[in-house]
Amino acid sequence: MRIATNTMTYNFLSSMNKSLNRMNTLQEQLSDGKAIHRPSDDPVKAIRSLKLNTNLTQNEQFTQNVKDALSWLETTDGSLTDISSIIIRAKELIVRAGSPSPGIAYETAGEEVDQLINQLINIANTQIGDRYIFAGQRDKMTALPVARTADAIVYNGDNNKISMPVQPGEVNPEQDSVNVTALEVFGPNLEVLTQLIEVKNQLKSGTPDVNYLTTTALQNVDAAHDRVLAAQTHVGTRMAMYELSDSFLQGDNVTITANVSANEDLDVARAMIDFKTNENIYRMALSVGARIMPASLADFLK
């Protein structure tokens, strides 16, 4: 059977083109160390890579949520510690007022209680970044969450939870919450502030109702302090949970990253050998082609 020159040329060019394509693929892989650049390179690995990278992105988002949550909770815990100290100081002033004192002492104590109220309001308006930590889900409003007008206290926030989830699935506000609201810390309608305003008014009058101060007022500040301690306990529990989640997520991140690397990374040593082998084959093909291609009928008609 006669082999036409066109057939030989076609077979030669086809084989050489395949060799060039293989060399180009290896060169592309060696340039960045990745075995997959498009789904057609390896459909199975491409699908696996997509899933793994999705899991890695999700894990990184949960890890960031943990960092944000811990920052929020640490700020809240510090604020609650300050609130606790202020309430203890208010209690000390009330206890002292229960003993006979000159009128000027009452007025001085009243002034200090007034300053304590302002400090509590400032803490109630604490921000982390541009978010109010005690305002519930109204944490980015323009107005202050807790405002004082004369002797009236206004709360502009709500009593809803802010969630920062650390696992897939539906968000659970109770399980994933990072905040306590001003209503939880200061009581319904911020009653502790209103109660301290009453204490302030009694003291500044110069003739306070000592029976009120030593019974009702003390009971109120004790209840307020218990409420703050309960909030701190809750915050501490949430911090422990997020710290544990952070440990798990860090471990997951290492595992997923290793899986991504095993799936996508190139075996450089093997690729170098394949590249050198294909380069030699390509050079041999060019050498053989140089000998075969000129051998045509036209060469013998000269």
Q: What is the predicted pLDDT for the residue at 28? A: 66
From CA 258, how far away is CA 251, in angstroms rounded? 11
Cβ–Cβ < 8 Å for 186, 124: yes
From CA 14, how far away is CA 16, in angstroms rounded? 5
How large is the average pLDDT for residues 117-133? 95
Residue 190 has what DSSP assignment?
Answer: G
From CA 107, how far away is CA 82, in angstroms rounded? 24
- With bands split at pLDDT 50, 70 and 90, how would you rate the model's confidence at 288? low
Cβ neighbours for 7, distance < 8 A, ≥ 6 positions apart: none
What percent of the chain is predicted at pLDDT more than 70? 77
Q: What is the predicted pLDDT for the residue at 12? A: 66
How large is the average pLDDT for residues 1-19? 67
- 284 against 1, higher pLDDT: 284
Give the pTM.
0.77
From CA 214, how far away is CA 193, in angstroms rounded? 18
Taking only the tens place, the pLDDT of each residue in 193-215 is: 999 999 999 999 888 898 999 99
Q: What is the predicted pLDDT for the residue at 273? A: 73
Nearest residue to 183 (alpha-carbon basis) of 162, 219, 158, 153: 158
Pure H helices in 164-209: 173-176, 182-186, 191-204
- Does position 187 have pLDDT exceeding 90, yes or no? yes
Q: What is the predicted pLDDT for the residue at 201? A: 94
Q: Could you give the 3-state DSSP secondary structure of residue 227?
A: helix
Q: What is the predicted pLDDT for the residue at 298? A: 56
Q: What is the predicted pLDDT for the residue at 256? A: 86
Q: Is 254 exposed, middle or buried (0-12, 13-18, 19+ CB in 10 A)?
A: exposed
- Does position 300 have pLDDT exceeding 80, yes or no? no
Taking only the tens place, the pLDDT of each residue in 65-119 is: 999 999 999 999 999 999 999 999 999 999 988 776 666 688 889 999 999 999 9
Comparing 100-114, 129-143, 192-206, 280-294, the range with the smallest average pLDDT is: 280-294
